[in-house]
């Protein structure tokens, strides 16, 4: 069993990998969750300490999620921090988005956040402690051209996040939401040209802001931050 456990979904690259380094540096045992084991291993190699575990998982599968979180609890202990970061986007005019793409965005972005959160709530309520960080994106605040279904999934995530705040208002469980614009990550590979991604935000900067604002402090609670490109 370890002292502090942080679970990060979508930890294979981008913001998830950057946040993993933050929690690892702060002495957490970091559980790296994602679809591709090779990418998770790459993130693990860059961590400042060797206290980590890798769990390949499809967060859209309730069964897989339940199995992974049961494994974490049995082998490591109760989760102290959950970062719901896994996400996928397919961008086109509304009428052109395929059925598979619709399912993928709703299943991973929305259902994945719900399924992972459900697995930690009972223990967090029992201990009256813990943090849940929902990485939502500005797509959860406003509609965007060619992002109709992506925005729909993120508006749903925002609704889940804001409802959690209400449900847990009388507890010491910290629920934090991050609404940020585009970052220069693999998320945009094959979607945006490098000339565009070069002007996007650095995930390390975003990780700094999220980690700093999500830190537990006496007598105050930061419920959300909005971070936009210039």
Rounded to an integer, what distance in angstroms lies between the CA atom of residue 82 and that of residue 93? 33
In Å, how far from its chain's centre is CA 81? 11
Rounded to an integer, what distance in angstroms lies between the CA atom of residue 164 and that of residue 149? 23
Q: What is the DSSP string of 141-179?
A: TS--TT-HHHHHHHHHHHHHHHHHHHHTTTSS-EEEEEE
Q: Is residue 28 among the annotated active site residues?
A: no
Considering just the CA atoms, what is the radius of gyration of the chain in Å? 17
Rounded to an integer, what distance in angstroms lies between the CA atom of residue 92 and that of residue 128? 43
Rounded to an integer, what distance in angstroms lies between the CA atom of residue 227 and that of residue 19? 16
Write down the catalytic residue from 150, 179, 211, 212. 150
Q: What is the DSSP string of 50-76?
A: S-EEEEE--TT-HHHHHHHHHHHHHHT
In Å, how far from its chain's centre is CA 118? 14
Task: Provide φ and ψ at 174, rounded to 5°.
Answer: -95, 120
197 vs 43, 135, 184, 189, CA distance in Å? 21, 20, 5, 9
The catalytic residues are 150
């Amino acid at each position: 069993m370890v002292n502090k456990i942080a679970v990060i979904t979508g930890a294979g690259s981008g913001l998830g990998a950057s946040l993993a380094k933050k929690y690892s540096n702060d002495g957490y045992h970091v559980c790296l969750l994602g679809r591709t084991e090779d990418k998770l291993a790459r993130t693990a190699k860059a961590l400042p300490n060797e206290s980590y575990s890798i769990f390949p998982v499809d967060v859209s599968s309730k069964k897989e999620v339940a199995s992974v979180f049961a494994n974490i609890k049995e082998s490591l202990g109760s989760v102290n921090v959950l970062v719901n970061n896994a996400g996928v986007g397919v961008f086109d005019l509304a009428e052109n988005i395929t059925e598979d793409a619709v399912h993928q965005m709703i299943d991973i972005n929305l259902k994945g956040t719900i399924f992972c959160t459900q697995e930690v709530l009972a223990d967090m309520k029992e201990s009256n402690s813990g943090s849940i960080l929902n990485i939502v994106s500005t797509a959860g605040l406003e509609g965007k051209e060619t992002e109709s279904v992506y925005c729909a999934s993120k508006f749903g995530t925002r609704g889940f996040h804001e409802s959690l705040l209400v449900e847990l208002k009388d507890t010491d469980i910290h629920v934090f939401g991050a609404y940020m614009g585009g970052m220069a990550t693999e998320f945009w590979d094959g979607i945006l040209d490098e000339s565009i991604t070069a002007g996007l935000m650095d995930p390390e900067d975003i990780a700094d802001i999220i980690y700093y604002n999500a830190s537990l402090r006496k007598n105050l609670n930061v419920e959300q931050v909005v971070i936009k490109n210039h």
